[in-house]
Chain A
Amino acid sequence: MTTETVTPHRSPAAPARESFWYLVHAEWTKFRTVPGWVIAVLVAIVVISAFAFLGADVGSSCTQTGGGHAAACPAEPTGPGGEPVTDAFYFAHQPVTGDGAITVQVTSLTGQVPVPPPGYTADGPGGQPWFKTGIILKENLSQGSAYAAMMVTGSHGVRMQWDYVNDTPGLAGNVSASAPRWLRLVRHGTTITGYDSPDGTHWTPVGTATLPWLTSTMQAGLFTAAPSGGDSTNATGVFRHIGLSWPASGWTGTNVGGTGPNGVPLPGALRQSAGTITVTGSGDISPVTGNTGSVNSLQRALTGTFFGLIPLIVVAAMFMTAEYRRGLIRVSLTAAPRRGRLLAAKAVVIGAVGFIAGLVAATLALAVGAPALRRTGIPLWPASPLTEARMVVGTGALLAVAAVLALAIGTIVRRSAPAVAAVIVVIFVPYLLVLGPLQGPKGEAPVWPLQITPAAALAVQQALPKFYQVTAIYQVNAGYYPYPPWAGLAVECAWAAAALALAFHLLRRRDA
């Protein structure tokens, strides 16, 4: 009896079935044919869009008319970019028409703060770190008009600032009689260039501001401001060697923004003596930051993300755990014996579902949330189209990565309840802890839970920019996150990648 070589049975199925995309299609069919899962994803989209109102309409705690028991809305001036700004300082000015240049020597900046408010350090030699005095070219005397300024600051050296949000460093070191600072602003058409010099002969360009809204005549002169978080502070700058490129017409002192008892700064002062001008002022020229409660973040429209995450996480975890519960995993692995590819196909499907859901939901939420936020009366920080696009795409990515994380943890623990609980906990609890009970050494809430957990990804929705040149308490509940947007998302991606790697390893090693 001879033994014959038996040809192994070959499936008549087309080789296309070996393709990865065929597997993705199979997993997509599994997903879309379970009505409960599709409904849950639709619910996620609906709650994210619906809760856009949570941060908006009911978030209004002021009224534009000042009636009722609600406080009157803050009436902030708006800068050239549409952003709410603080524009109150003391200005010694004279008009200048057309191009021109102004040069000064600053020999001193001093100031006092009675009691440093929380978040502000004690007085240094130049007062608070961002006390500022210098030269400024300003469109006109009304609040919020365009400007460019060269200044010396309390402890941040020489700066060039323009149009409230822009800030560029110049010479470092504090100003004093033995180390004076020379400042120069040159207007040429719609551009203003700032220069600084330690000696009045060697000049270095600091920055160039383009101010397309400038008219022919503008106000040029000397200014002093003393940002401190309180109104009872002021700073004093001493100027010498003032050089103007136009026929001088005498200085006029103005408190830009006025003075008064309530929220407006102390009156300033202008003193002229032989060769020396002294300018005393308070207030600030800066963007408004979120922790003052006087500016709204567009991120409030995306509050519903938390609500939408829960049904999505449940579905994403069940996408794998239901296979184990029903025993379907054995059929799936028979059909696709390369287990890693099965996991990858599931990740692609659930990630795409999460991404599309987030994209649609965030678009809807911003569409209904932004007008609702504007109606509250609190100024809304203008988000550029690029920022809005980042918030929308970022929300899609946040949901997609959360779904993949839930899928991976579901593969690791193979049980629905622990997987869902674990993913919800690592995203929600860090955020709650930062808002709630965690206390740092100085009494402020620590931010590390939002740096090391997947909750860091919420930074991708941040709509308010942080300003290095504005001292403020940049807290999470005011809409400021510890990481830049994409870095926060990267932390969540790292978690998902690590969980996916472990899931891949365990799926291949374990019996199904």
Chain B
Amino acid sequence: MSLQARVAPPPHPVAQALHAEWTKLRTVAGPAWLLAGVAALTIAVGAAAASAAQCSSATCGIDPAKVSFTGIYLGQAVIAVAGVLAIGNEYSTGMVKLSLTAMPRRLTWLFAKTAVLIGPVLTAAALAVAGSALAGRLILPGHGFTPAHGYASLTSATDFRAAAGAVLYLTLVALLSLGVAAAVRDSAVAIGLVLGVLYLFPLAAAVISNVPISRHLQQIGPLPAGLDAQATIGVKTLPLTPWQGLGVVALWTVGALLLGAVVLEFRDA
């Protein structure tokens, strides 16, 4: 092989970057444990909440999907850690210098990071949501969520939409965290920012008694907007429709990724 052939750029830089990043993700134990933790914690908390819930009459007005998916309050923190560490670990170990030497096109690197993370987090989110839904399906009918109380079926199209909304929400939270981590380059600061954005909006909305402002906070906050995508009853009275809610979360995610890309492109690593 001639020298020229050896130093020539690889034929498919994106494919090579994807392959390299997938190898990194696959061969480190951390991400696998975190994603298993997402599923385990989400299902455990969801099952506990379903066991505690009780619908005693046809007017109890409890959303079975929201009860089943209670664990997402906790699961999103774990999946956010996974998203933050996908980038944060590169900076904390100094690996980023090596990565960017091997892949000088920084946006290609960020794209590859993002792309290889989608598959695993989507899988983990789907497992978490499917497990929670199954737990709810098994537990809730024994706690008064029966056809007599207006819960004809826990497997309608609306329930599937709620489950899909929950899976997409968790995936978007992971990507949002990756974007924030790329922008601030420090895991601790990144996770603080992400969890602040997620948890502070609903807290502020609950404290403010001014109804219009509280409703606006629930519309722009990613956590309350994402919850709208997981609702199955009273959908018409929600601050946002389910798909609008998911759209708000997607806007946050796209914004964070764009910010991360700009910072990565124009700042020293």
Complex interface: chain A residues within 8 A of B88 (CB): 416-417
A59-B210, A306-B200, A417-B84 as given contacts; A317 in contact with B188, CB under 8 Å: yes
User: Complex Cα distance A138/B130, Å?
Assistant: 65
Assess the A440–B207 pair: CB atoms within 8 A.
Answer: no
Assess the B195–A424 pair: CB atoms within 8 A.
Answer: yes
Assess the B77–A429 pair: CB atoms within 8 A.
Answer: yes
Contact of A421 among B52, B191, B209 (CB under 8 A): B191
Contact of A386 with B by CB under 8 A: no
User: Complex Cα distance A510/B66, Å?
Assistant: 42
Contact of B235 with A by CB under 8 A: no
Complex interface: chain A residues within 8 A of B191 (CB): 314, 416-417, 420-421, 424
Stretch in contact with the other chain, from B67-75, B121-129, B260-268: B67-75
- Contact indicator per residue, chain A 413-444, by CB within 8 Å of chain B (1) or not (0): 00111111100110011011101111111110
A58-B208, A446-B52 as given contacts; A436 in contact with B202, CB under 8 Å: yes
User: Complex Cα distance A438/B199, Å?
Assistant: 16
Assess the B203–A428 pair: CB atoms within 8 A.
Answer: yes
Complex interface: chain A residues within 8 A of B206 (CB): 435, 477
Assess the A314–B77 pair: CB atoms within 8 A.
Answer: no
Residues 183-207 of B at the A interface (beta carbon under 8 Å): 186-192, 195-196, 199-200, 202-204, 206-207
- Contact indicator per residue, chain B 119-145, by CB within 8 Å of chain A (1) or not (0): 000000000000000000000000000
Q: Which single residue of chain B is at the shortest CB-CB distance from A417?
A: B187
**Interface residues of chain B: helix, strand, loop or mixed (majority):** helix
Measured CB to CB, the closest approach of chain A to B216, in angstroms, equals 11
Contact of A318 among B63, B78, B188, B204 (CB under 8 A): B188
User: Complex Cα distance A475/B49, Å?
Assistant: 19
Q: Which single residue of chain A is at the shortest CB-CB distance from B48?
A: A438
Complex interface: chain B residues within 8 A of A477 (CB): 206
Measured CB to CB, the closest approach of chain B to A68, in angstroms, equals 12
Contact of B85 with A by CB under 8 A: yes
User: Complex Cα distance A55/B74, Å?
Assistant: 26
Contact of B211 among A61, A307, A321, A425 (CB under 8 A): A61
Assess the A314–B188 pair: CB atoms within 8 A.
Answer: yes
Contact of B92 with A by CB under 8 A: yes
Q: Which single residue of chain B is at the shortest CB-CB distance from A299?
A: B207
Contact of B213 with A by CB under 8 A: yes
Contact of B176 with A by CB under 8 A: no
Contact of B53 with A by CB under 8 A: yes
User: Complex Cα distance A425/B189, Å?
Assistant: 15
Complex interface: chain B residues within 8 A of A61 (CB): 209-211
Number of interface residues of B (CB under 8 A): 44
Residues 66-109 of B at the A interface (beta carbon under 8 Å): 66-67, 69-70, 73-74, 77-78, 80-81, 84-85, 88, 92
Assess the A325–B49 pair: CB atoms within 8 A.
Answer: no
- Range for the number of chain A residues in contact with chain B: 35 or more
Complex interface: chain B residues within 8 A of A307 (CB): 196, 200
Assess the B62–A439 pair: CB atoms within 8 A.
Answer: yes
User: Complex Cα distance A311/B54, Å?
Assistant: 38
Measured CB to CB, the closest approach of chain B to A287, in angstroms, equals 20
Contact of A365 with B by CB under 8 A: no
User: Complex Cα distance A323/B207, Å?
Assistant: 38
User: Complex Cα distance A437/B80, Å?
Assistant: 21
Contact of A300 with B by CB under 8 A: yes
Assess the A432–B73 pair: CB atoms within 8 A.
Answer: yes
Complex interface: chain B residues within 8 A of A439 (CB): 49, 52-54, 62, 67
Contact of A58 among B73, B196, B210 (CB under 8 A): B210
Assess the B188–A416 pair: CB atoms within 8 A.
Answer: yes
A54-B204, A58-B210, A313-B192 as given contacts; A437 in contact with B66, CB under 8 Å: yes
Contact of B58 with A by CB under 8 A: no
Contact of A119 with B by CB under 8 A: no
A61-B211, A439-B62 as given contacts; A310 in contact with B192, CB under 8 Å: yes
- B52, B56, B88, B196: residue with the most chain A Cβ atoms closer than 10 Å: B196
Interface residues of B (CB under 8 A from A): 49, 52-54, 56, 60, 62-63, 66-67, 69-70, 73-74, 77-78, 80-81, 84-85, 88, 92, 186-192, 195-196, 199-200, 202-204, 206-211, 213, 227
CB pairs A–B below 8 angstroms (18 shown) = A54-B204, A59-B209, A293-B209, A300-B207, A306-B203, A417-B81, A421-B195, A424-B195, A425-B74, A429-B77, A432-B73, A435-B202, A436-B73, A436-B202, A438-B52, A441-B56, A442-B54, A443-B54
Having A429-B77, A441-B52, one finds 20 other A-B pairs with CB under 8 Å, namely: A58-B208, A60-B209, A61-B210, A293-B209, A310-B195, A314-B188, A317-B188, A417-B85, A420-B187, A420-B192, A420-B195, A425-B74, A432-B73, A432-B202, A435-B203, A439-B53, A442-B54, A442-B56, A443-B54, A443-B56
Interface residues of A (CB under 8 A from B): 54-55, 58-61, 293, 300, 303, 306-307, 310-311, 313-314, 317-318, 321, 325, 415-421, 424-425, 428-429, 431-433, 435-443, 446, 477
